[in-house]
Structure 1
Amino acid sequence: MKRTQPAQSTHPARTGHTHTGFERLPVVDISGLYDASLGQRMATARELDRAAREAGFFYVTGHQVTRAQQSALIAQAQAFFAGPVEWKMRYYIDHSIGTSMAHRGYVPEGEEVFAGGKRDRKEAFDTGRDLPADDPDVLAGTPMLGPNIWPDQPGFREAVDQYYAAAFALGRTLFRGFSLALGLPETHFERYLTKPPSQLRLIHYPFDASAEDRPGIGAHTDYECFTILMPTAPGLEVMNGEGRWIDAPPIDNAFVVNIGDMLEVWTGGTYVATSHRVRKVAEERYSFPLFFACDYGTVVAPLEPFATTEAVQRYAPVAAGDHLFAQTAQSFTYLKQRLERGELVLPEGSKALASFGQQARYADADASD
């Protein structure tokens, strides 16, 4: 059955929900988004809207990413990170193909530094949409776009490709739900998803009994529209609307979804890019976030229903790709070194790290006191 578009009177975003002092993350069954009935999709969109407003972080069940796809990715990540450091460094992220701005490959411990200035105790392998080296945008040197680096490990590429495709399809479905929630045509955001720099990260947190557990270490928001996360163990903490850290442990066959900077801008702060961190945990942990982005050249500003005077003043139009690149360049050591050597320049108007989410709001409030 063809999906019809909702009338503007069905706008579920006018329900008045606000970011709250939640104690646990809400759970949203999104199976209704796959239903042929517009009424069922709208009902699910209302649940998404409530979770995005009240928490900015929530679990989703009822998705169509198979357990086999999840298990294959986990197994390949475990095998890769178990390899010797010398072998993993053959795929170091600074070796990205072409202009070296594709930002793909192995991220060793200590490479990534968040706004607090402390090196993060984790290693990762970064991938994305696997574009050919002769793609026009790659040839033009567009950051965050390009070919993946593939390690010499049987089954790795296949597992990553299959999981990426399934998780990206889930992201498209969620965006249709957000469109309905915001009173927009169901396919409103599709125009911005032709070639987005959506990254899939394979992250390994080794157990570290001596790890310090200080407030704010590693705390950040995500730079894209939203994130679809598959974690294997506890450790994730989310800041609620009162500034308190709330545990977000894994739920079987559920993804953790959180609002990112671009949806905060599009909604004029109605949806908050919720700050989060990973703290010391009692076991080894793997984490697989897909950072769902819009096309690099998309200019994001508050949508008409949310373009109040206050929102327009707070959220100047931002180029989505430039924001992603600027935040990334300020977080990774190899890119910061290039900035220092003058090989790279941040886009004009780039924001500092931690410019969105609750931490930014508290900083603004402190500055005005």
Structure 2
Amino acid sequence: MKGRLVLEDGSIFEGEIFGYGEDTGGEIVFNTSMTGYQEILTDPSYKGEIVTMTYPLIGNYGINTDDFESAAPHVNGLIVKEVCPEPENWRLDSNLIDYLERNKVTGICGIDTRALTRKLRSEGTMRGIITKKDDDDTALINKAKAVPALSGRDLVSTVSSKEVYQLGKDNKYRVVLIDCGAKKNIITSLVNRGCQVTVVPAWTTADEILGLNPHGIMLSNGPGDPQDVPYLVDTVKKLLGEKAIFGICLGHQILGLACGAETFKLKFGHRGANHPVKDLASNRVYITSQNHGFALDNNSVKRLDIDITHLNVNDGTVEGLSHKKYKAFSVQYHPEACPGPEDSNYLFDKFIALF
């Protein structure tokens, strides 16, 4: 089925629709990972976004039941150069095309993803639509311009768990994970280290969290602009100094805001499995997995009772924080990886050592 990718700046890319097939819109972003499309599709942090995979062949190892980061895809759409209809993998359960169709996610292939990525890098991420309609170009461009931006709406509330649940029931340490759209492997990383993890909705109050008597509190990853969840920022302000706190990705930004820092939107974000991050204490560089479109403002952080512990080697943005007074730290990247390197999973041990 013929289709088009239409951007708000008027750019139009011709391709073929696969998966669900219905029109979709979102903010167009790109991910430079060579593998891991299954984890990317099911990462709640991509809510509201259409993901462009820069690696040219996607779907060659299919879909399996082990590598999901959540129960269903959260991306608004998928853009690839070439999609593989007949994958090969001993863990294979289905192919990518059928999986997207079952889960009502529209993809488009045959796109010059290199040209698209260069545009997004030079001009910044922008809104767009994937469509099979034959409307005139002006009408389609206007539809792309009408797609909601990431900022100005609470996407966290759409992906957070609606109920409290627990994993690792008989484990030694008690951790409350505030679910902003948590990836499964964050929970797994804690459970495997002897933590009883109680997952709570993002709007759970500080008193309710402290009432669970945790050793530590985890602030998870999640979608959207951190400034659109002020209720969560207020909660973390009340939790500072009460228990050990560890923030990942959006959780890192929330911790920064709770301490008085400011955030801003990156031009095209950090999304991939090979981003270099420097640990300022050891001068060691770690290769990290990342997925975020917002960051903490360096200058605003320097005025506060928090230390910058890690910096992005590529653009110098803040990648890690540590509070000077309280047991609280965070990283912008994903120490649980999936997809990506496991260089930084020691941070979970650091968290537990604070209990």
What TM-score comes out, normalization by structure 2 length?
0.29
Which of structures 1 and 2 has the larger relative contact order (alpha carbons within 8 angstroms, sep 6+)? 1
